[in-house]
């Protein structure tokens, strides 16, 4: 079902907003809902029309589900009936290992994003799709957001802005305020969702094929379709000519079956994945999720990171709304908290991303994990641990 805007562009520009959230993915929708739940007047904007497809592994891991439970959105997830994830099967050449997962759900991004936007609207968030948004100049007690829709440009003002626009970031390539560093060797992502009624790739398992030029993961989502998402070296993609052929090569070498519609599917690609944008907070602007930084994920970390930062940034956003005179301390506090939330997690995934680039190391690792199953469990538990995040991120002060 299509999600339409709740107000017009001309109506939006007449309002001084407490919070404007740029990007209506999982992170943006959740932070918009949380800000509205705190009593703020919130506008959520996105350049796309919803529901929309997105290159994503479609896996909510245990960390992500825990965040949704804590903020009262677990019923929305249960309503999907998406398969519960209970194991990860990883193949590299002739080596393979299956590792139990502590929890998780497989849900399509079309369904998940639309459900979270509806939950935000139910909390009185105003929603404006099909709009390009950029952060603008600084005012005394607010900041400008520049909007463009169907060739019409306008501006509005907000006490606080949250950028949750994914790998698109701020949309300001020549900004003096932010710097985005893209790792030169960064892989690019590609993905599709296909209808498949075969008995291959049973629900509840993440299937991952690792090769010399990248890796691809497959999982069945709530309606039985197979979601495929991969990360590839750019030279590897050029040699094969398309993401479909690159994925086919990986699956064949891993001895996986080839889904019938793999080559005819409608594939989407991404910009280079591994990147960092600094600073993650500036005058009345907070970056969360992939907009702040991205590392090739392992089993659903991307959405977990987005949800964690969305939940924990809310009180800093509240401080910005209350501050008629901006205090740099608010930005510094979010930078500190962001590092506490993300530094060790991204470092861990960065290590695994490097490992996955070497099939020889992957093969040796799989042999070691097969010999010592407890080590595999410890690694998965480390990825899915959320005990440190069950505390409040920051004691909000007036």
Q: What is the distance between the alpha carbons of residues 144 and 131, in angstroms, rounded to a whole number?
A: 15
- Structure token digits, residue 390: 């069950």
* Residues 194-204, mean pLDDT to the nearest whole number: 94
The region of weakest confidence among 24-28, 39-43, 102-106, 243-247 is: 102-106
- For residue 251, which of 200, 283, 215, 206 has the smallest C-alpha distance? 215
Q: What is the distance between the alpha carbons of residues 120 and 35, in angstroms, rounded to a whole number?
A: 10
Q: H or E segment at 282?
A: strand 281-282
Classify residue 237: in a domain, yes or no. Answer: no
The region of weakest confidence among 145-149, 172-176, 338-342 is: 172-176
pLDDT value for 305: 92
Classify residue 66: in a domain, yes or no. Answer: yes
pLDDT value for 201: 95
Give residue 372's pLDDT band: very low, low, confident or very high (50, 70, 90). Answer: confident
Does residue 169 have a pLDDT over 80?
Answer: no
Q: Give the mean pLDDT of the chain.
A: 89
CB-count burial class (<10 Å; 0-12, 13-18, 19+) for 4: exposed
Give residue 297's pLDDT band: very low, low, confident or very high (50, 70, 90). Answer: low
Classify residue 263: in a domain, yes or no. Answer: no
Classify residue 160: in a domain, yes or no. Answer: yes
Classify residue 202: in a domain, yes or no. Answer: no
The rounded percent of the chain whose pLDDT value lies above 90 is 68
Reported as a single tens digit per residue, the pLDDT across 240-280 is 999 999 999 999 999 999 999 999 999 999 998 888 999 99
Does residue 167 have a pLDDT over 90?
Answer: no
Q: What is the distance between the alpha carbons of residues 315 and 160, in angstroms, rounded to a whole number?
A: 11
- For residue 146, which of 159, 157, 138 has the smallest C-alpha distance? 157
- Structure token digits, residue 395: 């004691």
What number of other Cβ atoms are within 10 A of residue 315's Cβ? 21
Asked if 106 and 220 count as a contact pair (C-beta separation under 8 A), the reply is: yes
Provide the number of structural domains found in the chain. 1
Classify residue 247: in a domain, yes or no. Answer: no
Q: What is the distance between the alpha carbons of residues 178 and 9, in angstroms, rounded to a whole number?
A: 27
The CATH number that applies at residue 152 is: 3.50.50.60
Reported as a single tens digit per residue, the pLDDT across 36-77 is 999 999 999 999 999 998 999 999 998 899 999 999 999 988
Contacts of residue 365, defined as CB under 8 A and 6 or more positions apart, other chains included, come to: 355
Give residue 385's pLDDT band: very low, low, confident or very high (50, 70, 90). Answer: low
pLDDT value for 398: 34
Residues spanned by the domain of 108: 9-184+273-389
* Residues 346-369, mean pLDDT to the nearest whole number: 77
What number of other Cβ atoms are within 10 A of residue 47's Cβ? 18
Give residue 20's pLDDT band: very low, low, confident or very high (50, 70, 90). Answer: very high
The stretches of the chain forming alpha helices (DSSP H) are 9-12, 26-37, 62-70, 74-80, 109-122, 234-240, 243-253, 301-322, 328-356, 359-371, 373-384
- For residue 256, which of 191, 204, 198 has the smallest C-alpha distance? 198
pLDDT value for 381: 66
- For residue 206, which of 304, 378, 90 has the smallest C-alpha distance? 90
**DSSP 8-state class, residue 2:** P
Give residue 237's pLDDT band: very low, low, confident or very high (50, 70, 90). Answer: very high
Classify residue 261: in a domain, yes or no. Answer: no
Classify residue 107: in a domain, yes or no. Answer: yes
Does residue 396 have a pLDDT over 60?
Answer: no
- For residue 282, which of 182, 374, 162, 158 has the smallest C-alpha distance? 162
Q: What is the distance between the alpha carbons of residues 61 and 52, in angstroms, rounded to a whole number?
A: 21
pLDDT value for 395: 39
In DSSP terms, which residues pair with 88 in a beta bridge?
99, 206
Reported as a single tens digit per residue, the pLDDT across 116-152 is 999 999 999 999 999 999 999 999 999 999 999 988 9
Q: Nearest 5°: phi and psi at 2?
A: -70, 140
This prediction's pTM = 0.91
């Amino acid at each position: 079902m299509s999600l339409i805007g709740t107000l017009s562009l001309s109506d939006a520009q007449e309002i001084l907003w407490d919070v404007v959230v740029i990007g209506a993915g999982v992170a943006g929708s959740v932070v918009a809902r949380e800000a509205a739940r705190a009593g703020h007047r919130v506008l959520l904007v996105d350049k796309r029309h919803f529901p929309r497809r997105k290159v994503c592994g479609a896996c909510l891991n245990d960390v992500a589900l825990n965040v949704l439970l804590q903020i009262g959105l677990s019923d929305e997830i249960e309503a999907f009936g998406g398969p519960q994830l209970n194991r990860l099967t990883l193949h590299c050449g002739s080596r393979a290992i299956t590792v139990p997962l502590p929890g998780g759900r497989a849900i399509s991004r079309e369904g998940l994003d639309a459900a979270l936007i509806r939950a935000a609207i139910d909390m009185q968030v105003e929603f404006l799709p099909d709009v390009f948004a950029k952060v603008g100049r600084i005012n005394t007690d607010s900041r400008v957001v520049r909007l463009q829709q169907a060739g019409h440009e306008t501006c509005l003002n907000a006490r606080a802005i949250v950028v949750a626009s994914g790998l698109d970031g701020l949309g300001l390539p020549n900004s003096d305020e932010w710097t985005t560093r893209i790792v030169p060797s960064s892989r690019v992502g590609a993905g599709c969702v296909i209808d498949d009624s075969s008995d291959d790739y049973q629900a509840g398992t993440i299937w991952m094929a690792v090769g010399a030029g990248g890796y691809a993961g497959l999982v069945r989502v709530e309606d039985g379709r197979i979601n495929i998402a991969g990360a590839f070296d750019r030279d590897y993609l050029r040699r094969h000519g398309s993401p479909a052929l690159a994925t086919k090569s990986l699956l064949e070498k891993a001895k996986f079956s080839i889904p019938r519609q793999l080559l005819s599917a409608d594939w989407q690609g991404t910009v280079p994945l591994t990147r960092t944008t600094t600073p993650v907070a500036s005058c009345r602007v907070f970056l969360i999720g992939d907009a702040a930084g991205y590392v090739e994920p392992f089993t659903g970390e991307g959405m977990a990171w987005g949800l964690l930062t969305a939940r924990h940034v809310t009180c800093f956003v509240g401080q910005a709304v209350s501050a008629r005179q901006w205090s740099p301390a608010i930005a510094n506090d979010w930078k500190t908290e962001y590092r506490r939330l993300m530094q060790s997690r991204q470092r861990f995934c960065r290590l695994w991303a490097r490992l996955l680039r070497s099939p020889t190391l992957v093969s040796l690792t799989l042999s070691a994990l097969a010999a010592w199953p407890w080590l595999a469990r410890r690694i998965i538990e480390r990825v899915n641990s959320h005990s440190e995040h069950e505390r409040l991120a920051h004691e909000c002060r007036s």
